[in-house]
Structure 1
Amino acid sequence: MSPTTASVSSPPAGIEGIRIYDPAAISRYYRSRPWRLLGRALLILGSFLWFLGGLLWDHWTGQGEARKAQQASDLRELLTRLGPTFIKVGQALSTRPDLIRPDFLEELIKLQDQLPPFDNQLAFAILERELGMAVDEAYREISPHPVAAASLGQVYRAVLYSGEEVAVKVQRPYLRQVLSLDLCLLRWGASRFGRFLPLNLGHDLTLIVDEFGIKLFEEIDYLNEGHNAEKFAENFHGDPEVKVPAIYWQFSSPLVLTLEWIQGFKLTETDKIRAAGVDPYAIVKIGVTSGLRQLLEHGFFHADPHPGNLFATLDGRLAYIDFGMMDQLETQTKETLASSVVQLINQDYAALAEDFVSLGFLAPSTDIRPIIPALEKVLGKAIGQSVRDFNFKTITDEFSALMYEYPFRVPAKFALIIRSLVTQEGSALSLDPNFKIVEVAYPYVARRLLTGESPQLRRQLLNVLFKNGKFQWQRLESMIAIARSDSQFDLLPTAQMGFQYLMSEEGLYLRRQLLLALTEDERLHTAEVQRLWGLIKDEIKPQQIFSVAINAIRDFSLTGVTTLISQTPAGSSR
């Protein structure tokens, strides 16, 4: 009997009633059932002791170096045998270069949520109990066997009586019991022994377990997944390139989810995608830009975009499925991430180190001066190279050593972002090994900063354009040139917003700095202005400039204009 199905023949009603992760309630439940904890603990402990014994034997016999790859493979297989909780633990650890050595990281990244399907009759019994009707009453047709099986559930293909083709997800039986039992043990171990482990966490290990538990309990609530899908769809409403399946609520419950069937191909099926007349490069570009929109615009992002959850549709769209693992970013975090991408492209590693402090990767008290050259060494090769030559996996491997040498830590929320980036990169590689991710990412970020829809973004733009108090003409030229390389970028609305910002009270600092920039070093910077004009002259005609100016000042009152004029310095001195 596999460890994932052991001891689940008689589900305890109490644990099934805990719908939201509550470590105190779970602990109280199992304290009165210590035999369950003991049996599972012995199985887990015995499995890991056997694995550690193998590591020691290899060390004593001098085979440690030669068997590194096999050791990493053994760990992956061990986590898979222990079931869904430990598969998820392995996936989470695969995003933590500060905790796991590089060869183990490489193997853990391969972990897939693949398990044999559970009994078909049991699945249909769950369907009938959850929906309150017979299977043939809910669905006109349904596949006799699951078309896909994963660690948390399995999927059937069906047709509704109204004619829509749907996917029906059925959760594994007693999954909440299996996960809660493992989480109880993990939390107990973290609280007792976490402080003795040489881990660079920056906080209590139990917080990591709790964050993990919260996400797992959210993922096994299919109603929560359905709401996530609808929120995701609303964020991309009107986007012709992104497809989100519709949810059929009348045939859904916490353990069953019925959603629109997606016609298309997994991103790993490159030959089929090309044969259908779909451009793989275009699909990858959609994946990168939609991923950036999730992180930097909406703040609500898909944290598990592996190839099995992404499809290229027959009409050339990218379809997202499986919205169990999602997360939300705060506004300040979104804006700092946008800044970080630009600092990386501009190779300003001092500013990038400051962003790492703001994001929580470095403590506020950290002396970043010795870290700056180390960042340059690790990240410097990223610019202008393809995914094949330099990628997030390479960064992860090199950061593994860097994080032990310097006080880096990975905040729990960013473990999901890293996971998302790594898996999207794998999809990019499978479709186009020469795809340059920065060529897609930077135009998007440049557009976001240049348009400056929010005060936070406008402040980030100032941070990019000024260094040590001096205006960076080359950066502005670069941002405009790269932003214009994207066909979706319209310079006129950006110019209008920029003009409005310059005229506002908020733009006082920028007006003064621009006057200084035009006259710094005791000369007029006419050459820089001419180069900028050369970039935009084909898109902006004199009449358009006049219209933009009129539109920009139309909303200002006479008092506002008077205040503006009084604030603008007549001259400047250095």
Structure 2
Amino acid sequence: MRGPHNIWRLIRTGATFERTGAMGIALEAFDAPAPLRAAARVLGWPFQWLGLPGDPSRPPIVRALTALGPAYIKFGQLLSTRPDVVGPEIAEQLKVLQDKLPPFPPEEARAAVARELGVGPDVLFSEFGPPVAAASLAQVHRARMRDDGRAVAVKVLRPGIERAFLRDVDAFYLAAWMIEHLAPFSRRLRPRAVIEHFEGVVRGELDLRMEAAAAAEYRARTENDTGFRVPAVIWSASGRRVMTLEWVSGINIGDLEALRESGVNLTDLSRRVIQTFLTHALRDGFFHADMHQGNLKLGPDGALVALDFGIMGRIDAYTRRVYAEILHGFLLRDYTRVAEVHFEAGYVPADRDVAEFAQALRAVGEPIFGQDAAHISMARLLAHLFEVTERFGMETRTELILLQRTMVVVEGVARGLDPAMNMWETARPVVAGYIAENISPLATARDIASTLRVLGRFGPRLPQLAEAALMRVTLAEEKAAARALPGWVYGLGGAMVGAALVALGGML
């Protein structure tokens, strides 16, 4: 599936954008240079008849993405949170990709529930309503449990979605291969590794048992967080293609008019979105990695409610400390420390100059901090940092892809609520709190104590481990000494052993 036949899918992508009128709009939105615009139009125009027509009632870019399939729709969902990248008009158009796609027939959903759970929906539910939301992979039905009368949300995968999604991802592998071979300088970015990471995320999202487990873990980790809530999983009505959660009422975070009418403070809500994400990423190392407007609600009690747990991110304790120190260094404008952290973590090759790298980081940070709050952007910082790390040979860190992507998405959601939100001042208390708790003399003492506890568990085995290590060293030394002897010694030694064995045989 990774062969040249996927070229057809890539050609069809360009042809679809040209046929639907999305090509020119996309090039303009991304501020593509004039030569690239000319090349795209010249190459795209002759093949436009090969493109998919899409729904003419939709705006051009939405029309193209929905025609091309679920992987492209996912990309559009990301862009819908970035009005500063694609412009407010296109971002508003793309919001329909979050949960307002055409649903599949309820009869198919009911049949999927019966196949997956082994009993008809009428046995489990006293009510099973029409779809209330439809996204790229699944749709949601409101229902009511027959046993206890609880209102629930039943998520059902679209028929045939696994094959369709992975077919699109397969074409992305070919695109990554072509990029690596046609543009060798891009190899440090590891395009194929990025696609492999994306495929792993997609496969997890296509198994609703994994999503249910993620939701349950996320709820357990955050149950004591004030002003944040995760709905409970109904395990008895969940499986690979069906997942049931408790129903959550509330206002969609993207519905600014309804939020204003509710009287909520949008500036405060914007701050909570950013700080909630950072708290989960730094404190727990387990965070919601798809926090667009369609997956967040403001509950009746004022709590921020998360939905859709198909894409969750994990980062280990060491990576969390590195990430926090980098953010903290930028907050303090301590570019030397930011540079040192990159080298200590192995992110930048050791043969590069730390002072020169720190100078390059200063060139990234100072212009951003010199702007007013409305223009201080994490996305802009990441874009500039990308240019610097390319210059210094830093490879793409696949373990940070979800974290970086989600940071950009969350910033887009927060700015949608409050365009003047100061990203760095909002992040400061969370990052500073993490640094104080985890990078301090007390934290070092805790780390040493943890190390001693681990060593203590091996206490009874230490003598055997030491003896085995000593034997390996002794054997290695003997082999090295034997290899250093001349050949005639081996012959003499063999003869002596042979004679000894003959003499011993005679004695016996």
Give the alignment's TM-score, normalised by structure 1.
0.63
Match for 2:408 among 417, 422, 431? 422
> In the alignment, what sits opposite 1:538?
none
Distance 1:152 1:340 in 2: 35
CA displacement 1:169-189 (0-9 Å, x = unmatched)? 110111121223333444355
Deviation string, structure 1 residues 212-254 (Cα, Å, up to 9, x no partner):
1111000111110111011111111222221000010111111
Distance 1:330 1:84 in 2: 30
Matches within 5 A, 1:372-383: 372-383=358-369
* Partners of 1:264 and 1:312 within 8 A in 2: yes
| 2:173–2:195 contact (8 Å) kept in structure 1 | yes
Tell me if the contact between 1:128 and 1:135 (Cα under 8 Å) persists in the aligned partners.
yes
* Cα distance in 2 between the residues matched to 1:265 and 1:188: 41
The residue identity in structure 1 corresponding to 2:141 is Y
The whole-number CA distance in structure 2 between the counterparts of 1:333 and 1:404 is: 20
Mean Cα deviation higher: 186-195 or 306-315: 186-195
Change (3 A) 1:49 1:339: same
Give the 5 Å matches for 1:458-477: 458=440
Alignment RMSD: 4.0
Equivalence for 2:462 = none
Partner amino acid for 1:160? Answer: M
Indicate the larger mover: 269-278 or 322-331. Answer: 269-278
Whole-angstrom CA distance in 2 between matches of 1:81 and 1:433: 32
CA positional deviation for 1:415: 2.2
Q: Deviations over 1:88-112 (max 9, x none)?
A: 45668999xxxxxx779x9799584
CA shift at 1:86, angstroms?
3.1
> Does the C-alpha gap of structure 1 residues 173 and 309 become closer, same or farther in structure 2, counting only changes over 3 Å?
same
Tell me, in whole angstroms, the C-alpha distance in 1 between the residues paired with 2:133 and 2:283.
33
Larger CA Rg, structure 1 vs 2: 2
CA deviation string 1:18-59 (max 9, x = no partner)? xxxxxxxxx6xx99xxxxx95x7534433336769978xx99
Partner of residue 242, structure 1 = 228
Q: Normalized against structure 2, the TM-score is what?
A: 0.71
Asked if the contact 2:251–2:297 (Cα under 8 Å) also holds between the matched residues in 1, the reply is yes
Q: Is 2:133 aligned against 1:151?
A: no
Distance 1:156 1:267 in 2: 20
Distance 1:363 1:267 in 2: 42
Q: Which residue of 2 aligns with 1:160?
A: 145
> Residues 103 and 274 (structure 1 numbering): CA distance in 2 closer, same or farther, change over 3 Å?
closer
User: Would you say the 8 A contact 2:124–2:237 is kept in 1?
Assistant: yes
Query: For each residue in 1:131-159, what CA deviation from the matched residue of structure 2 results, as whole angstroms up to 9, or x when unmatched?
Result: 22222222222222x11111101111122
Instruction: Please give the residue correspondences for 1:505-524 in structure 2 after superposition, counting only pairs within 5 Å.
Output: none
Aligned letter for 1:211?
H
Displacement of 1:276 in angstroms is 2.6
Shift of 1:309: 0.8
The answer to whether 1:307 aligns with 2:289 is no
The residue number in structure 2 matching 1:529 is none
**CA displacement, residues 520-565 of structure 1 (integer Å, 9 cap, x when unaligned):** xxxxxxxxxxxxxxxxxxxxxxxxxxxxxxxxxxxxxxxxxxxxxx
Task: Tell me, in whole angstroms, the C-alpha distance in 1 between the residues paired with 2:279 and 2:164.
Answer: 36
Aligned with 1:326 (options 281, 298, 312): 312
The answer to which of 147-156 and 357-366 deviates more is 357-366
Secondary structure of the residue aligned to 1:272 is: helix
Contact 2:378 2:423 in 1 (8 A): no
The structural deviation recorded for 1:429 is 1.5
Aligned to 2:11: 45
2:238 maps to 1:252: yes
| Paired residues, number | 417
Choose the corresponding residue for 1:394, options 377, 380, 385.
Answer: 380
Q: Aligned partner of 1:237: which letter?
A: E
Displacement of 1:292 in angstroms is: 1.5
1:403–1:501: structure 2 CA closer, same or farther, 3 Å change rule? closer
- 1:340-419 to 2 correspondences below 5 Å: 340-358=326-344, 361-383=347-369, 388-399=374-385, 401-402=387-388, 405-419=391-405
Tell me if structure 2 keeps the 8 A contact 1:386–1:433. no
**1:464 counterpart residue number:** none
> 1:512 maps to which residue?
none
Distance 1:281 1:271, change over 3 A: same
Aligned to 1:266: 252
TM-aligned CA deviation for residue 293 of structure 1: 1.7
Tell me if the contact between 2:154 and 2:245 (Cα under 8 Å) persists in the aligned partners.
yes
> Alignment identity in percent?
28
| 1:362 partner SS | coil
Residue ranges of structure 1 left out of the alignment (5+ in a row): 1-26, 32-36, 96-101, 460-496, 507-574
CA contact (8 A) 1:76 1:108 kept: no
Bigger fraction of residues in helix: 2
Q: Which amino acid aligns with 1:210?
A: E
* Contact preservation (8 Å) 1:357, 1:364: yes
Residue 87 of structure 1 and its aligned partner are, at CA, apart by 3.3
Match of 1:118 in 2: 104
Q: Cα deviation per residue 1:414-444 (whole Å; 9 max; x = unaligned)? A: 2211221112112212222232232232222
Shift in Å, 1:323: 0.8
